Amino acid sequence: MLVNALLYYFRTVLKRDSFEINLPRPRKEHHLPTVLTMEECFRIFRSIDNPKHKLLLLIGYGAGLRRSEIVALKWADIFFDEHKMHIKQAKGNKDRMVMLPYSIVAYLKDYRNLYPSDDWVFTGQYKGEALSTRTVQQVMHDAVAKAGLEKKATVHTLRHSFATHLLESGTDIRYIQQLMGHSSIKTTMIYTHITPKAERKIVSPLDNLVQSNLPPKKIEK
């Protein structure tokens, strides 16, 4: 902030447009995101009794959605026959298609009968309003506490867990990039650093070659 203040003073007050301060800027710290195991995710979902609250977290994890994307979801955006959801005007004003998990289709239809609406999937307190993102975060906070998890987990943690679990199951990282709505593959690549399970599956091409073609031989002196 001091550097910016000096630049403003010399350029704006003293009118020295060419004034520069060439100092090395500190690098931004890059922290790996918190990720839940599948068992921890299950404990969170199991701890919720309210069907509306349970479903919004199930969709958040099942499709890798942000809080803002969960509350912006409309019934017209859900294509049951295609098992897809249309996420509109997400981060960066981008649209994308994501999966509608088969496992929640029946639950979603039952929920609609319980909470009838022609517009928002998750309605707010007042008619015509969508649920607030703050409410979604509070639902997650309460569920994590009730599940007895020691990790600090937010709704975005479910999104990170979605991507990590896909990677661990062998999904191509470029498909994960599309589902997450990342502009750059570099953003998605962070999940390769937090999935030891996937790392254990990596096999040397030499091992594959030996296994499929060459019988192992002992080294003789």
- Pick the catalytic residue: 16, 46, 91, 109? 91
- Pick the catalytic residue: 43, 84, 88, 156? 156
Radius of gyration of the chain (CA): 24
Three-state SS string across 126-171, please?
CCCCECCHHHHHHHHHHHHHHHCCCCCCCHHHHHHHHHHHHHHCCC
- Pick the catalytic residue: 53, 61, 160, 191? 191
- Pick the catalytic residue: 53, 54, 67, 159? 159
Q: Give percent helix, percent strand, percent coil of the chain, each to the nearest 5.
A: 50, 5, 40
- Pick the catalytic residue: 54, 160, 165, 182? 182
191 is catalytic: yes
156 is catalytic: yes
- Pick the catalytic residue: 53, 54, 66, 165? 66
DSSP category for residue 120: B
Per-residue b or e along 15-45, where b marks 16 or more CB atoms closer than 10 Å to that residue's CB:
eeeeeeeeeeeeeeeeeebebbeeebbebbb
30 is catalytic: no
182 is catalytic: yes
* Rounded distance between C-alpha atoms, residue 113 and residue 96, angstroms: 27
Catalytic residue ranges: 66, 91, 156, 159, 182, 191
